[in-house]
């Protein structure tokens, strides 16, 4: 049996029937990674012995009992590295568990392995990792998306049953689309950020990558909820996120934003998304035209707000308390300046400069304050649309996976890859991406993602809508050619 | 405004040394990004309140009580340099 190809739900059935033990599942996963990961470079590190000790004691009757879950290298797991894809954190070992890890452990899951990412989650291709890019299992000459590129790639490549990533402007949904798996960005405040190394604190959310929609519901059940250690986490009731699965979508209204079908979108992406929309109509959903008129400004707002917050958050990397420290500093300013010069890669430096500039004296009102006001207009667009519809349906990314190196010299072009995902972060809304077809490019099949956006705290309904499509199509059964 | 953008000065504010090559590259790349974001000048924001947070929450308090947390040893575990239970930094003030 090809254990690592199983979904979490399928694995659990075998664990609970005692057909497979947690140690056997973990060992099969380790063997798969050992033979296959050299082709895609998803894992930065993993501690098999420590995970096996947990597997030996796992209670398979817990909600995620005995299930190994791979973790993006931006979430602290006590005793493990947490490099954030950066040289500056190479010497660091986490002193504590992030709240999501505490919750996964309480649900019986086994955190296993550290996943590659764009440095400090800044990027859309994983090429900004200081440790080399992750490659797309569908075509290893292409990127897997980013910043959680490896979180998507290892799930698609059957090198993980499920994984965690983080999404600040699309970093869960875009790689899920480009690698052909399910990725969920929860409502801002739904999942605790305590122990997530901060990029842009008003936008960051942790979420799951899985092979099926149901699996994402299972993981969200463990992850969601108020955390006293994160004052921005919200005290909303946590439903059973698998509770609405299996219900049909008859009569549900899905909004089609005209601004998301723009010139420049890959024709094969547009065709697949339009086919998915027709499929929803055949399932009984009603498609309603909506308008999100400030969409074109989302990328501009994002690159002001996110870099401003990042420039403040990354001030903590100064060579004093943890991480890299420049040798033989001549004074404190020299220590700061050279530690950061040596430790950060080019994209992080670019964004620190940009964020510092838009917050600097004389420019704050023109850039940062104005961006925050346009952010209000983007939120209002969604609020108005959600008076008419239950969810919004659109492409996740305007493109399929691009070639390694194709965009690295042009930051602005790379930023525009996030045009369809950023608005949900600015508005704090939940969103997910699920597979809806393939584009054929140079003789390779490249996955296409369908994005669903919902009202605040409507994750259960989004999963219901997504699962209705998934279970009446075969896209989620496709496996990449990685042998 | 992008015309006034100066990478060298901004890098000083950010406590970030850059090479001459990086300064030249970032000056060109970020000027292009700034021109792009300046399209926001065309949006009518009169009377619009700024959004700092998607879900505004205010005054989240917890009880002011001591609780178990890192020991000094744990807090110093990742320190590049430490001595006598303290972080060591270069001299800041002349004697």
* Chain segment A150-193, per-residue pLDDT in tens: 999 999 999 999 999 999 999 999 999 999 999 999 999 999 99
- The DSSP 8-state label assigned to residue A196 in this structure reads B
**Can you give the pTM of this predicted structure?**
0.97
| pLDDT of A1 over the 80 cut | no
* Whole-number average pLDDT of chain B: 91
Q: What is the pLDDT of residue A483?
A: 60
- Do residue A297 and residue B41 have CB atoms under 8 angstroms apart? no
Nearest CA in chain B to A424: B54
Report whether pLDDT(B57) > 80: no
Tell me which residues of chain B, numbers 45 to 84, contact chain A at a CB-CB cutoff of 8 Å.
Answer: 45, 48-55, 57, 60, 62, 70, 74-75, 77-81
pLDDT in tens, A419-467: 899 999 999 999 999 999 999 999 999 999 999 999 999 999 999 999 9
Share of chain A above pLDDT 90, in %: 96
Cβ–Cβ < 8 Å for A66, A60:
yes
Q: Is residue A352 over pLDDT 90?
A: yes
In this prediction, does ipTM exceed 0.90?
Answer: yes
Q: What is the pLDDT of residue A425?
A: 98
Number of A/B CB contacts below 8 angstroms equals 173
pLDDT at A417: 80
**Is the pLDDT confidence value at B89 over 80?**
yes
Q: What is the pLDDT of residues A5-61, one digit of tens each?
A: 999 999 999 999 999 999 999 999 999 999 999 999 999 999 999 999 999 999 999
Nearest to B89 among A320, A341, A354 (CB): A320
Q: What are phi and psi of A236, to 5 degrees?
A: -100, 150
Residue spans of the domains in chain B: they are: 1-41
List B86's β-bridge partners, or say none.
Answer: B83
3-class DSSP state of A219: helix
For the segment(s) B1-41, the CATH number from 1.20.120, 1.10.20, 3.40.50, 3.30.1490 is: 1.10.20
Angle between helices A99-106 and A213-223 (to 10 degrees): 110
Q: What is the DSSP string of B2-60?
A: GGG--HHHHHHHTT----HHHHHHHHHHHHHHHHHHGGGGGS--TTPPP-S-SS-----
> Are A26 and A110 spatial neighbours (Cβ–Cβ below 8 Å)?
yes
Residue B60 confidence class, pLDDT cut points 50, 70, 90? confident
Q: Is the pLDDT of residue B1 over 80?
A: no
Nearest CA in chain A to B60: A231
Q: Which residues of A touch B51 (CB under 8 A)?
A: 372-373, 375-376, 379, 426
Residue-wise pLDDT for A225-246, tens only, equals: 999 999 999 999 999 999 999 9
Domains of chain A, start order: 3-249 (3.90.1300.10)
């Amino acid at each position: 049996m090809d254990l690592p190809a199983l979904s979490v739900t399928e694995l659990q059935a075998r664990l609970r029937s005692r057909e497979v033990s947690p140690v056997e599942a973990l060992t099969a996963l380790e063997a798969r990674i050992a033979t296959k990961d050299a082709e895609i470079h998803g894992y930065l590190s993993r501690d098999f012995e420590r995970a096996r000790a947990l597997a030996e004691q796992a209670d398979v009757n817990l909600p995620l009992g005995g299930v190994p879950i791979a973790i993006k290298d931006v979430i602290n797991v006590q005793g493990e590295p947490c490099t954030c894809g950066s040289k500056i954190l190479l010497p660091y070992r986490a002193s504590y568990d992030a709240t999501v890890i505490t919750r996964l452990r309480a649900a019986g899951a086994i955190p296993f392995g550290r996943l590659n990412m764009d440095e400090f989650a800044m990027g859309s291709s994983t090429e900004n990792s200081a440790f080399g890019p992750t490659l797309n299992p569908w075509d290893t000459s292409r990127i897997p998306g980013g910043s959680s590129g490896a979180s998507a790639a290892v799930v698609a490549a059957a090198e993980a049953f499920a994984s965690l990533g983080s999404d600040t402007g699309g970093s869960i949904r875009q790689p899920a689309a480009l690698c052909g798996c399910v990725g969920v960005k929860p409502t801002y405040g739904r999942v605790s950020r305590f122990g997530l190394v901060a990029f842009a604190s008003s936008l960051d959310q942790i979420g799951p990558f899985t092979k099926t929609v149901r699996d994402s519901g299972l993981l969200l059940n463990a992850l969601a909820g108020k955390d006293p250690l994160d004052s921005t986490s919200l005290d909303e009731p946590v439903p059973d996120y698998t509770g609405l699965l299996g219900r049909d979508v008859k009569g549900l209204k899905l909004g089609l934003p005209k601004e998301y079908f723009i010139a420049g979108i890959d024709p094969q992406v547009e065709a697949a998304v339009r086919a998915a929309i027709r499929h929803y109509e055949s399932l009984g959903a009603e498609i309603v035209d909506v308008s999100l008129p400030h969409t074109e400004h989302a990328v501009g707002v994002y690159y002001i707000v996110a870099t401003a917050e990042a420039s403040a958050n990354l001030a903590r990397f100064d060579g004093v308390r943890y991480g890299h420290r420049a040798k033989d500093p001549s004074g404190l300013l020299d220590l700061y300046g050279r530690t950061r010069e040596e430790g950060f890669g080019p994209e992080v430096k670019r964004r620190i400069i940009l964020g510092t500039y838009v917050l600097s004296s004389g420019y704050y009102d023109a850039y940062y304050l104005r961006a925050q006001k346009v952010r209000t207009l983007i939120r209002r667009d969604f609020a108005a649309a959600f008076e008419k519809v239950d969810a919004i349906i659109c492409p996740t990314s305007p493109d399929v996976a691009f070639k390694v190196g194709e965009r690295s010299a042009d930051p602005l072009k790379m930023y525009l890859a996030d045009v369809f995902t950023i608005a949900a972060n600015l508005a704090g809304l939940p969103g997910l991406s699920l597979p809806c077809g393939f584009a054929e490019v140079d003789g390779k099949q490249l996955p296409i993602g369908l994005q669903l956006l919902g009202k605040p705290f409507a994750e259960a309904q989004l999963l219901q809508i997504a699962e209705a499509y998934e279970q009446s199509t075969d896209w989620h059964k496709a496996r990449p050619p990685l042998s | 405004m992008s015309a006034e953008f100066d990478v060298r000065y901004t890098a000083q504010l950010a406590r970030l040394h850059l090479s001459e090559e990086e300064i030249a590259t970032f000056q060109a790349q970020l000027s292009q990004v700034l021109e792009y974001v300046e399209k926001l000048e065309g949006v009518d924001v009169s009377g619009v309140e700024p959004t700092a947070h998607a879900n505004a929450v205010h005054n989240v308090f917890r009880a002011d009580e001591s609780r178990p947390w890192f020991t000094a040893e744990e807090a110093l575990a990742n320190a590049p340099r430490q001595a006598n239970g303290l972080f060591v930094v270069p001299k800041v003030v002349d004697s």
